Copies of this chain bind each other. A is one copy, B any other.
Amino acid sequence: MIRKPILVVVSGPSGVGKTTIIKAVLAKRKDIIFSVSCTTRPKRPGEVHGKDYFFITEKEFKKMIERKEFLEWAEVHGYLYGTPRRFVEEAFSNNKSVLLDIDVQGAMKVMETFEDGVFIFVAPPSIEDLEKRLRKRKTEDERKIKRRLEDALWELRNIDKFQYLIINKDLDEAIYSLGSIVTAESIKVERLEDDVKRYKEEVLKDGRKG
């Protein structure tokens, strides 16, 4: 099957369930890999350095900014987050698609440089639902939850800048939707231009022989 590596950016308010959806999709397919971001925020229980994030110091982070090693970086909720450029480039050269799990601000920065990227917004069914999820997580204090909800309102105003909208009401449906987007985008004729040309040449040549 002709398939093209693509950059898939999954974004949306903090607490909306992006990570759960992404993990389920990645567990099932080998054609797409997760881009591990760098962050200066403290590790949460269960998180693994190099798998969930590269947990680095502010000093290290700033050095990477200076060396232009980030595709995008941003300060979110008081911490720095960044996507290492090298990771994406290496995956593409191995014909693998890359999935980024980043905040809305970061996603909008990536839009400027990756016009070919696929930008997906994951939204909660309601703000109340988002609040419930954030409280259930129990990793943040009241002040931080309030701040995340305020940010969410700004983020939700930017849905129109994205190409796809997944409303995370039913987890299985959301997982199927994300997988579907990755598959559908990778067989778009406009992405396959060179391959379609090659395919047509081969098939039509064979046709003349017969």
Contacts and interface: CB of A to CB of B under 8 A. Distances in A.
Q: Which of A131, A167, A190 has the most CB of B within 10 A?
A: A167
A8 to B, nearest CB: 11
A164 B149 contact: no
Nearest to A150: B207
Given A127-B206, A149-B207, A169-B1, A184 B187 contact: no
A180 B184 contact: yes
A142 interface: no
Give the copy number: 2
Contact of A165 (B153, B196, B207): B196
Interface size class on chain A is 35 or more
Interface stretch (A65-73, A86-94, A101-109, A154-162): A154-162
B126 A159 contact: no
A203 B121 CA distance: 15
Contacts of A160: 189, 196
Contacts of A127: 203, 206-207, 210
Interface in A181-206: 181, 183-185, 187-190, 192, 196, 199-200, 202-204, 206
Contact of A184 (B164, B196, B203): B164
A149 B210 contact: yes
A179 interface: yes
A27 interface: no
5 contacts: A127-B203, A152-B207, A156-B207, A159-B196, A159-B199
